[in-house]
Amino acid sequence: MVAALLRLLHRTLRYEVVVDPAGVAAPPPALQVWCVWHRCILPCVCFFHRGYKGAVLISPSFDGELIARTLELLGHRAPRGSSSREGAVGLRGLAVALKEGYAAVLTADGPRGPIYRAKPGAVKLSEYVGRPIGTVYALPERAWTLRSWDRLLIPKPFSRVVISWGPNLPPPRSGAPEDLEAKRVELEAALERARLNAERRFPPPRP
């Protein structure tokens, strides 16, 4: 039911693509690691639900199972894992999906936050597979905002949605802790840059 509703919602939305001067070319995304902030996962799913093959890391919780089944019905893969539990299993699943032609997608601050704080998983995956990290943020002009830790955005029908492509980052120089941390900080800044570029198009959505 959720998959059908998202397809229906997608048909009503109007998208505007914004590319950072230091960002990437317009979609489709390359076969690499991609990161979004957790709060914009629903507008991202609406935009990328057709014509894009993504493998999205999903929490192994019960709620995660429902999300995983929805994503699979929309044509994506959903390896299970998180930054706090079964993380290595999830990252290996993303690495396999990359080899099979799926872009690897992680919510950089998920699944528990804090909001806008990048976790190290995407950086570790980038170092492991030797591929860059792309950043993107999706902002609806009109949306319902949940009272959750991530202030999740649910686009309202017929809203405009900005798809903001942020900087593309090369893999870490090595797997040394200091290199991984430096890249994590760089990733966090790139995602924030994508978010701010989107918010300049119109004020943040209200509940």
Instruction: List the Cα angle 140/33/53 in 5-degree steps.
Output: 70
pLDDT single digits (tens) 87-109:
678 889 899 999 999 999 999 99
- Do the domain assignments include residue 207? no
Residue 70 tokens, joined? 């929805």
- Do the domain assignments include residue 63? yes
In order of 33, 130, 173, 185, the CA distances from 170 in angstroms are: 10, 9, 8, 13
Higher pLDDT, 60 or 85: 60
Which structural domain range is residue 15 located in? 2-199
pLDDT score of 133 more than 70: yes
pLDDT score of 10 more than 80: yes
Assign 24 a pLDDT band (cuts: 50, 70, 90).
Answer: low
- Do the domain assignments include residue 101? yes
Range of lowest pLDDT (42-46, 75-79, 170-174):
75-79
Q: What is the pTM of this model?
A: 0.89
pLDDT for res 146: 94
Segment 133-147 shows an average pLDDT of: 95
Which amino acid, 119? K
- Do the domain assignments include residue 18? yes
pLDDT for res 1: 84
Number of Cβ within 10 Å of residue 192's Cβ equals 16
109/42 Cα distance (integer angstroms): 15
- Do the domain assignments include residue 104? yes
- Do the domain assignments include residue 204? no
Number of domains in the chain: 1
141/156 Cα distance (integer angstroms): 9
Q: Please, what is the average pLDDT of the chain?
A: 88
